[in-house]
Amino acid sequence: MGNLAAHQAGHNVLRKKMSNQTTVTEFLLLGFSEVRELQILHFVVFLVIYLAALMGNLLIVTVIALDRHLHTPMYVFLINLSILYIGSISVTVPKSMDSSLMNTRSISYAGCVTQVFFLPFLLGADFFLLTVMAYDRDVAICQLLHYERVMNRGVCVQMAAGAWASGVLSSALHTGNMLAISFCRGNTVDQFFCEIPQLLKLSCSDSYLTETGVIVFIVGLVLCCFVFIIVSYVQIISTVLRIPSEQGRHKAFSTCLPHLTVLSLLLCTGSFAYLKPFSSMTSRLDLMVAVFYSVLPPVMKPIIYSMRNKEIKASLRKLT
């Protein structure tokens, strides 16, 4: 009986140890530097970037909301984009600033799950909304006489709601799989926020295959949207080239250029981060790529749209 009790106690200890290996209560995020002076510099730089993104996007929302002449489908979608960018940069940058300022790398499991849900949700909705905007530009240039009928208020609301819902759906799939993942390869995430490809490196459960399937499904969906965007712009370019007036061609292209610039920035950096092999880049290079697709677009978008859009510049002058 004594031997049996000892064996049972040993089994319980072993089971507890195994449980401790797979139960993660917090993660350690990769910092930009261990040098205290550089951590403070990182905090200051990210603070400037964060405030610039907030001010720029809030300014665009305010200008469009106050100018009734800008209450058109394109600018309604632009307000939605600005809200998405405010949300996406708020998911990652404040936590990274706090880590640098307080000289800590830890993030709770709940905080990590929150980032895993909201960042793909906001970036996914962003991409779907950019796809909708490509269709809007297609109708505005190629079917100008039918534009008000095709892109009426109800259709715009449905398209914007569909973009947000698509982001929620894709993100919910990721988050549900993460909650089922067991982590047995440590808790150090080679990124300054919780990113799905980096978390998969720590996984040792069958949910890894499920998450890979989810990523493949979403990549297929993104490719379909990308093909739709390409087709839309092929039609736009062919229509614009038939416009006899050089001024008319320039005006048509100028309305599409900001959208194409923002779309290219998001697609190139996001695809590079999520489609690359896990071991193809160093951790530092991973950090830089993540900055390009998660931090810079919210800052660059207000600049791109305000610099290339005469209506917004005119409204800004009226507002000031």
CATH architecture label of 25-319: Up-down Bundle (1.20)
> Can you list the residues of the chain whose pLDDT is less than 70?
1-22, 205-212, 248, 251-253, 255, 259, 269-283, 306-309
Name residue 271's beta-bridge partners. none
Q: Where are the domains of the chain?
A: 25-319
Q: How many C-beta atoms surround the C-beta of residue 132 within 10 A? A: 21
What contacts 243, CB < 8 A, 6 or more positions away?
A: 249, 252
Pairwise CA distance, residues 260 & 301, whole Å: 11
Pairwise CA distance, residues 57 & 102, whole Å: 28
Pairwise CA distance, residues 42 & 105, whole Å: 14
Pairwise CA distance, residues 217 & 128, whole Å: 15
Residue 209 has a pLDDT of 62
Summarised one tens digit per residue, pLDDT across range 12-54 is 433 333 344 457 788 888 877 788 888 899 999 999 999 999 9
Residue 46 has a pLDDT of 93
Residue 271 has a pLDDT of 65
Give the end-to-end CA distance of the chain in Å, rounded to a whole number.
86
Summarised one tens digit per residue, pLDDT across range 279-297 is 545 567 777 777 877 888 8
In degrees rounded to 5, what are phi and psi of residue 106? -80, 145
Q: What is the pTM of this model?
A: 0.81
